[in-house]
Structure 1
Amino acid sequence: MHPISRAALRPYICASCRYGIGASRRRFGTKPDQTPDIYDVVCVGGGPAGLGLLAALRASPITSKLKVALVESQDLNKAQAWNMPSDQFSNRVSSLTPSSASFLRKIGAWEHLDTNRVQEYQEMQVWDGETGSRISFDWSMETPPFEDMRTVATMTENLNLVRALLGRIAASGDQGLTLFSNTTVASIENGSDLQASGPDLSAWPVLSVKPTGPGSETKGISRIAARLLVGADGINSPVRSFADIPTQGWDYNRHGIVATLALADLDTPPFPANLRTAYQRFLPALGGPIALLPLPNNHATLVWSTTPENAAYLKSLSPSAFLAMVNAAFRLSMTDLKYMMGIERSEQTSHEDELAWHVQHTSLPSQTPPLATAVQQGTVASFPLRFRHAAQYISPRVALVGDAAHVIHPLAGQGLNLGLADVAALSRTIEYAVSHGMDIGDLLTLERYSSERYLPNAKIGGACDLLHKMYTIPGQGPITWARSLGLDVIDKLPFVKSFLMKNAEGH
């Protein structure tokens, strides 16, 4: 009886993986003479997407025994110890759809969230600052009498979510889990098949990871091999570069201004009492929409998309002048707003005086939000807006999720939700592969994830891109007329609004 050869015991790797696609991958640096530690899943990136994947894998009885690792350049211990006073909020806030919230509950992360810092809202008011046409989004038509209105979305700080996911991962125990905190990826290359035993690593990604935190000078570079390497490492993804996956897209020449604001009490208390509303007004003449999204304790987060010049101007203002511009953006005409955006500090008039005078001579819309009364110190910031979409989400033994795969305009608040939907789909794909004895890094296995997520992400990203372009055309031309008519018609067709909302929340 002849012994079974080592090659026959190796996991199957097709010729295209070994000699074709995988062979063309970029290699970074030289290869040290060190046998790598082998992991089933290695995720690069410790944001909500990367942590969400690890939490999902650890939560499933089918995948909880996999050997997994996460590589993150920031200090995860600091993220887990994050804390802020109850009357202060981070300026990095996301709007979670019901589907995202359901996923977080399913994997056990929601119970680790500080719900005192979370705010649901039940309606959203959207209107065109050029024409006044408007639309409201809520579930009032599908809510039975005497029942609370369904949630449109839930606001939470990204740091609150990251801390909750880290808490869920920690609760799963440390068996089969390695977190490389304060660690950067020095190189990614294909492995070697010169091992005396074990799988052939010639088509496996092998990472050289380097500690960067305190005391890192005494620590060497570690090498880890991944049966499946997941890129959750953002728009400039090293994992995507290693896999030679190109992206298409463009910069919008727009910046997003964010800030945490305190709001005045409503003149008329909401009915029902727990009703919370988000507001968004399109400002074509200023380059994009402004949105005010509710936070607990009468606070709100601001997201204002505008030109880089306007963003720089707004950031240069004093807190009182900044608040005047925010309040004006929800109340005044495009002409008045453009005038206020040009007020110099040396002029006799002030933003506050101009706002007070113009409000007296302006017919305010019924959906105007409460006045912003204070801006939290240190929260006014800006970031460039971009659109990117990877040509593919998978490569042999590589999968991309979140911003590594797609970056979209924030006007619909879908960026984080798309990333969590990616993670949910990829975790299901891995779970299916494990339960059916499949290789989790095989290209045919990963096709299941790609086919589920690529088109929905492209559809939502394209829709946001189209909305941005439609609502940055000022004036009263045919496009302005068409978009106003569209808003008015959709607002009068509940079944169309319901369809749009179900699509937005992932159903």
Structure 2
Amino acid sequence: MDLSGVQNWKPQQDNYSNRVVSLTPGTMDFFQKIGIKKHLELNRTHGYRDMRVWDGVTGASIHLDSTILDVKEPSIAYMVENVNVQHAALERIEECRSQGVKIDLFQKTKVASINKETESKEEGLDLKDWPSIQLDNGKQLKARLLVGADGINSPVRGFAQIESLGWDYNAQGVVATLKLDPDRLESNLTAWQRFLPTGPIAMLPLGEGYASIVWSTRPEIAKALKAVSPHDFCNIVNAAFRMSHVDLKYLYQQLTAGKSCDIGAEYTWREEVAKKSLDEQEIFEREYSLPPQVIDIQENSRASFPFRLRNAEHYVTDRVALVGDAAHATHPLAGQGLNQGILDVQSLSQWIEKGTTEGQDIGSIHLLRQYASERYLRNIMMISSCDKLHRLYSTDAAPITWARSIGLSAVNQLDFVKAEIMKYAMGIEYNGAVRQ
């Protein structure tokens, strides 16, 4: 991998990468602890304080407002460009190296192979069965502990002969960077999510006047969304947050069949019908209960990616540990993928520190199992929760929509339950106090 683009990154005003992540306060606290946070471009780090989530079929909703929590930092999460995090991490590495910490950074090279070391002795060490990594530049590395943080198709996991279980969803995520109605800038501290039968659509605040969208939908709809004009894309995003799922279904059919359809006219007409019986106050209240209107899309920001569910059969073997996507992957509807990986890293690093302090072999399976037992069940819970939510909202069958709407409306009335949901989502230790 060539890191020069990350190392030389200079943020441009009003131009955001479409590759963004939602970082919890817990993750930001960890970044503070390890010295990364101070290197982040904080003016490109946008926190949001509340979430409005609703059912696209029935309209049942829940409002998660972090101000009910008795915490110092009220942000539920922070939207950050991937390159901002990567740049900050590299800056921290260079800072450590300047202080005499030995860190070797390999770039513009690939792992050619990973094998078990067969030599039993080298420089007084018993290296038998240590992982031996051969790089394509001719260098060879031997590791007391090999950490696989190498993605969903992890070569390290393959070397360790760890099975990865799961499936691919019949869904893709369409992402884009959006420019919002300038008259609604005060609303850009809110994340919006609507669960449609074809998949959830989320608008996440990215900065003053900008937002990132993640639209989970069927592959054929995703393909059509990437092909329409920027003007039509803006209209259909606005429609996805405002129109009934029946009207949206009609638009999908026109798009995927390649039929000529004036999306702007369809959207405008339906909005006029929806507002016809409302007075000025009701129109105002309706508009502010919905996300800001999208007025433009950043050039070349549309892209899509497949959704997958994976979980490794186990996270460790002798001298190997898996973290992040190498260990697990979940549906991104909760925005927790990277945060779960960071929690893996935090846990593993603590056990390595403990082992080092006590003079243990940090590659020993006995030590690594402590990490696995700490993270495996927690990750399973997150994976399972996201999968069940996806399945629950991927239908418009009447009995299911009725039941889920009753449940969502009931939870919305219970601040103590919403506080627990936010605590879990924020990744923080919380004493349970709720502001009255």
TM-score of the pair, normalised by structure 2: 0.92
2:433 counterpart residue number:
none
Distance 1:317 1:198 in 2: 65
Distance 2:328 2:261 in 1: 45
Q: Which stretch shows the higher mean deviation, 259-268 or 311-320?
A: 259-268
How far off its partner does 1:194 sit?
Answer: 4.4
Contact 1:190 1:201 in 2 (8 A): no
**1:204 matches 2:130:** yes
2:144 counterpart residue number:
227
User: Could you give the per-residue CA deviations for residues 137-169 of structure 1, whole angstroms, max 9, x where no partner exists?
Assistant: 12222349xxx8711111100110010011011
1:92 counterpart residue number:
19
SS of equivalent to 1:465? helix
Distance 1:380 1:242 in 2: 35
**1:241 matches 2:167:** no
User: What is the aligned-residue identity percentage?
Assistant: 46
Structure 1 residues 361 and 427: alpha-carbon distance in aligned structure 2, compared to 1, 3 A threshold: same
**1:281 matches 2:202:** no
1:413 counterpart residue number:
335
Out of 315, 321, 327, the residue aligned to residue 226 of structure 2 is: 315
Distance 1:196 1:306 in 2: 54
**1:30-429 → structure 2 map (5 Å cutoff):** 74-143=1-70, 150-173=74-97, 175-195=101-121, 197-211=123-137, 221-266=138-183, 269=186, 276-284=189-197, 287-343=198-254, 349-362=261-274, 364=286, 367-429=289-351
Distance 2:270 2:421 in 1: 36
How far off its partner does 1:128 sit?
Answer: 0.4
Contact 2:148 2:321 in 1 (8 A): yes
User: Could you give the per-residue CA deviations for residues 329-380 of structure 1, whole angstroms, max 9, x where no partner exists?
Assistant: 0000011111122335986651111110011112657521000111011110
User: Could you give the per-residue CA deviations for residues 281-308 of structure 1, whole angstroms, max 9, x where no partner exists?
Assistant: 0011xx2000000011210000000000
Distance 1:105 1:359 in 2: 46
Structure 1 residues 244 and 269: alpha-carbon distance in aligned structure 2, compared to 1, 3 A threshold: closer
Structure 1 residues 292 and 445: alpha-carbon distance in aligned structure 2, compared to 1, 3 A threshold: same
Distance 1:115 1:267 in 2: 23
Distance 1:143 1:332 in 2: 37
1:50 counterpart residue number:
none
Aligned length: 415
TM-score of the pair, normalised by structure 1: 0.79
Distance 2:260 2:382 in 1: 47
Out of 356, 360, 364, the residue aligned to residue 442 of structure 1 is: 364
Which consecutive residues of structure 2, in runs of 5 or more, have no partner in the other structure? 276-285, 430-436
Which consecutive residues of structure 1, in runs of 5 or more, have no partner in the other structure? 1-73, 212-220
User: Could you give the per-residue CA deviations for residues 177-217 of structure 1, whole angstroms, max 9, x where no partner exists?
Assistant: 11111221111111023435421212100000114xxxxxx
Contact 2:185 2:209 in 1 (8 A): no
SS of equivalent to 1:449? helix
How far off its partner does 1:500 sit?
Answer: 1.4
Q: Which stretch shows the higher mean deviation, 374-383 or 81-90?
A: 81-90
Contact 1:119 1:296 in 2 (8 A): yes
User: Could you give the per-residue CA deviations for residues 247-282 of structure 1, whole angstroms, max 9, x where no partner exists?
Assistant: 111111100000000100345945xxxx71000000
**Higher Rg:** 1
Distance 1:295 1:137 in 2: 19
1:505 counterpart residue number:
426
Counterpart residue type for residue 253 of structure 1: N
Counterpart residue type for residue 391 of structure 1: E
Distance 1:451 1:348 in 2: 56
SS of equivalent to 2:105? strand
Structure 1 residues 474 and 331: alpha-carbon distance in aligned structure 2, compared to 1, 3 A threshold: same
2:279 counterpart residue number:
none
Counterpart residue type for residue 112 of structure 1: H
Distance 2:287 2:412 in 1: 16
Distance 1:268 1:376 in 2: 17
How far off its partner does 1:425 sit?
Answer: 0.7
How far off its partner does 1:101 sit?
Answer: 0.6
Distance 1:396 1:348 in 2: 60
Distance 1:108 1:162 in 2: 13
C-alpha RMSD of matched pairs (Å): 1.8
Distance 2:179 2:145 in 1: 45
Structure 1 residues 179 and 196: alpha-carbon distance in aligned structure 2, compared to 1, 3 A threshold: closer
Distance 1:268 1:402 in 2: 35
User: Could you give the per-residue CA deviations for residues 118-152 of structure 1, whole angstroms, max 9, x where no partner exists?
Assistant: 101000000001000000112222349xxx87111
Contact 2:200 2:216 in 1 (8 A): yes
